[in-house]
């Protein structure tokens, strides 16, 4: 198969490309990425010279460019990871999120309609469901949970999901959607909670925690997520939504303390800051549907995954130091200056 992976220079998309090329070496993978602040081409350095891999710098909102790429590559499958995804940034500048997450998704699906594909898969988020109360641990998000968004980011992702289902109903586009819980693992951009705490702790800098740090998230190791997406694309039922969760619920403050202890640092580094506007209290996914339909279950326990993640950031300091310094943004020019 020929597969286009959008947003493949980002955290989850990059991990997916590594997983796919290893699991299905017979496939051709094309990575389409705009290389915004969170897109880091050095993440893909190990596969850049693979004969069955191609990188294309392109904005998914660029209709002419997207159509040209589809005409060249004639993809069988499109997996859309491309998204603006940071809640705080969406509060500061909502319009960018609406443009990429909604309009960009529509451009991709129009290309799929025009050139024909076997599957369009939309990578979504559990944040479209809103949040759950902290005092009801028996409640979980299912695929039937009503959409109830809290931020411009989650609203833009919910809008994209609705548009995907509308294209399926109206045009017969073969689509699937996955909605995942919080991912963690290698190559995650340093502004996110876990890498931010690891890097700040290594430098003995304050560890900023919103409110009292009591917000609960369901943490999913990124490789487990990649396996789930691959299963959905290959075996999932067209027109269906699948929730992908880790069954690893943790309070933010407990994650921060775990990182502090793992790096032999002091809790005095923890700094409680003013809470985020509209901060969701708890996310928790029930993955029963994907387990029953496709046999998927998360394989990585949080205590194991966080150890692997901390070790990765310790062993790959050049990767995140380039990001912190801004040098990573020059990688594209270095890679392509003479091509």
**Largest interatomic CA distance in the chain:** 58
Task: Identify the active-site residue in 126, 218, 230, 249.
Answer: 126
The span from the CA of 313 to the CA of 309, in Å, is 6
* Active site (annotated) includes residue 92: no
pLDDT one digit per residue (tens) for the chain, 339 residues:
999 999 999 999 999 999 999 999 999 999 999 998 778 899 999 999 999 999 999 999 999 999 999 999 999 999 999 987 666 676 777 788 889 999 999 999 999 999 999 999 999 999 999 888 888 888 889 999 999 998 888 899 999 999 999 999 999 999 999 999 999 999 998 888 999 999 999 999 999 898 889 888 899 999 999 999 999 999 999 999 999 997 888 999 999 999 999 999 999 999 888 877 767 788 889 999 999 999 999 999 999 999 999 999 999 999 999 888 776 556 546 654 554
* Active site (annotated) includes residue 67: no
Task: Identify the active-site residue in 59, 84, 127, 223.
Answer: 127
Q: Which residues contact 249 (CB under 8 A, 6 or more apart)?
A: 137, 216, 217, 218, 219, 282, 284
* Active site (annotated) includes residue 303: no
Task: Identify the active-site residue in 16, 18, 129, 153.
Answer: 153
Region class of 289: left (phi > 0), else alpha (psi between -120 and 50), else beta: alpha
Exposure string (b/e) for 255-266, b if CB count within 10 Å is 16 or more?
bbbbbbebbebe
pTM to 2 decimal places: 0.92
């Amino acid at each position: 198969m020929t597969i286009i992976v959008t947003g493949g220079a980002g955290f989850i998309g990059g991990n997916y490309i590594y997983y796919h090329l290893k699991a299905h070496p017979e496939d051709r993978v094309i990575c389409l990425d705009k290389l915004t602040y969170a897109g880091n081409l050095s993440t893909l350095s190990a596969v850049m010279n693979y004969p069955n891999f191609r990188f294309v710098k392109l904005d998914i909102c660029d209709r002419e460019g997207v159509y040209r790429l589809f005409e060249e590559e004639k993809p069988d499958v499109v997996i859309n990871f491309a998204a603006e995804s940071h809640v705080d940034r969406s509060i500061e500048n909502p319009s960018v999120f609406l443009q990429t997450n909604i309009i960009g998704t529509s451009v991709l699906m129009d290309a799929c309609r025009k050139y024909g594909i076997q599957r369009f898969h939309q990578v979504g988020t559990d944040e479209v469901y809103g949040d759950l109360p902290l005092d009801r641990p028996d409640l979980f998000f299912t695929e039937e949970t009503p959409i109830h968004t809290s931020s411009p980011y989650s609203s833009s992702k919910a809008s994209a999901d609705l548009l995907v289902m509308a294209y399926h109903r109206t045009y017969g586009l073969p689509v699937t959607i996955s909605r995942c819980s919080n991912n963690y693992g290698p190559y995650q951009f340093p502004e996110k909670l876990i890498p931010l705490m690891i890097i700040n702790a290594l430098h003995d800098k304050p560890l900023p925690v919103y409110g009292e740090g009591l917000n609960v998230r369901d943490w999913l190791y990124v490789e487990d997520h990649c396996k789930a997406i691959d299963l959905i694309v290959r075996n999932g039922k067209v027109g269906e939504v699948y929730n992908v969760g880790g069954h690893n619920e943790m309070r933010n403050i407990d994650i921060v303390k775990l990182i502090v202890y793992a790096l032999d640092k002091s809790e005095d580094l923890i700094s409680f800051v003013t809470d985020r506007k509209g901060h969701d209290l708890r996310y928790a996914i029930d993955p029963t549907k994907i387990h029953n339909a496709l046999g998927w279950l998360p394989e990585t326990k949080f205590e194991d995954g966080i150890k692997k993640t901390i070790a990765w950031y310790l062993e790959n300091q050049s990767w995140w130091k380039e990001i912190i310094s801004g040098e990573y943004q020059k990688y594209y020019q270095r890679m392509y200056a003479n091509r």
